Amino acid sequence: MDEQGRYGRRAVLALGLGLGLGGPGLAACSVPSEPSDTAARDVRELLARRSWALLRRDEDGFLGVLEPGVRGLRDAQQQEFGNLADVPLKSWEYRLTGLDRTGDRAATARVELALRIDGYDAVPAVTSRRIDLLRRNGRWYVAGDRPARSGAQEIWQQGPVTAVKGERAMVLGAGQPRARLTEIARAADGAVAAVGRAWTRERGLRVVLLVPPSLRGMGALLGEPAAGYRGIAAVTTGSAAGGRRTSADRVIVNPEAYDVLGASGREVVLTHESTHVATRTDTSAATPMWLSEGFADWVAYRESARTPAEIAPELRRTVRREGPPAVLPDDGSFRFSGDADRLAGAYEGGWLACRMIVERWDEGTLLTFYRSVGEHPQREGAVENALNRELGTTPEEFTARWRRYLRDELG
């Protein structure tokens, strides 16, 4: 099996994680609270000081909010402060969403960390964290800072971060040589340009990529077991609601799987993931995975001269052995933990469905169909309504046409 057949289909997946800043250097902290809740007010002020010190690169101010009696805390926070030195932060904000008190001297703040990369993030990337607090001599201090999900890390907790700026892509890497990150940034620039040629709604698209030291580091960034991502070259995180982004996307690269790919395989992976970033606000819970993943693959292969038989080897084997699948792949077929061949076939089936729309109708119809499905208020009826309105067909007729198309292209 060729390189693309082995890794291309298993190298891509968008993780739609459900996860109003001021100008450069502004930091803030907010929480719904009663006017008399002085603890919440004091914690807001503490976290605002911490944010401001980080943005000004004031190490003494950043470390000065720490509880001195917690062993190892200062060293760990000093290391993280240093690891962030190369990251071009536009903003760093703690949004206090809750405060759990333990007596008068201890508390845990539930916060959202919202940060923007200067020149790349239109909205912040948001993660949930827990900040442990101790009160001494009438003043609150930070006693610990941890993710809300056990095991999750930030890229700067995996070592000093090297930032490489491309024309349309920013790459933040830990434990990686600058030359390697520069190559990824160059490839990502090409991927973003390819997406812009297909999805014209996002001509100003910019993408931020994270490159951890290893597969294990990738799992830590996602807060998931690393074994589930073996052979997966990249994933994308981000969220949107009501047609607007609620957390900026991050493309997380698995350096071990990415290195196995040649130039064309890397181009496909990065274009696929950049498509997920571009279509984030037009993708919703109503969008089935065969459409979101198939569309991303259609963009990734749009300018390729490779044939369906070359791009879809797993599905081709199925069609030749058993005939075309009876139905389009369901969401469960796209799970990493499932059968690898089934996963590859699911991607291939979604891609060929989108390719069929372009050949039977045109590219504009595919783009309109995609947006129409995402605009539906719920999953039920979304595809059916869009098929009827945009393609003038029914789910049954569309599936039958897709099955014939598979037989013609892969049989």
Residue 358, in any domain of the structure: yes
Report the alpha-carbon distance of residue 165 to residue 124 in Å, rounded: 18
Domain closes at, from 150, 167, 195 = 150
pLDDT band at 338 (very low <50, low <70, confident <90, very high): low
pLDDT at 201: 85
Residue 14, in any domain of the structure: no
Asked if residue 15 has pLDDT above 70, the reply is no
Residue 196, in any domain of the structure: no
Can you tell me the mean pLDDT for 382-388? Answer: 98
Largest distance between two CA atoms of the chain: 78
Give 264-329 as a DSSP string: HHHHHHHHHHHHHHHTGGG--TTS-HHHHHHHHHHHHHTT----HHHH-HHHHHHHHHH-S-SSPP
Residue 232, in any domain of the structure: no
**What is the chain's mean pLDDT, rounded?**
90
Identity of residue 131 = I
* Three-state DSSP class for residue 243: coil
pLDDT at 411: 87
Domain closes at, from 123, 150, 177 = 150
pLDDT at 4: 34
Can you tell me the mean pLDDT for 24-30? Answer: 41
Can you tell me the mean pLDDT for 39-46? Answer: 95
Q: pLDDT tens-digit profile of 149-171?
A: 777 899 999 999 999 999 999 99
Which pTM was predicted? 0.90
Residue 211 near residue 184 (C-beta atoms within 8 A): yes
Domain closes at, from 150, 178, 213 = 150
Report the alpha-carbon distance of residue 261 to residue 273 in Å, rounded: 15
Residue 176, in any domain of the structure: no
Q: pLDDT tens-digit profile of 190-223?
A: 999 999 999 988 778 999 999 999 999 999 999 9
Domain assignment of residue 338, given as a range: 283-411
Give the count of domains, the chain.
Answer: 2
We report the CATH number of the domain holding residue 112 as 3.10.450.50
Residue 355, in any domain of the structure: yes
pLDDT at 160: 98
* Three-state DSSP class for residue 135: strand
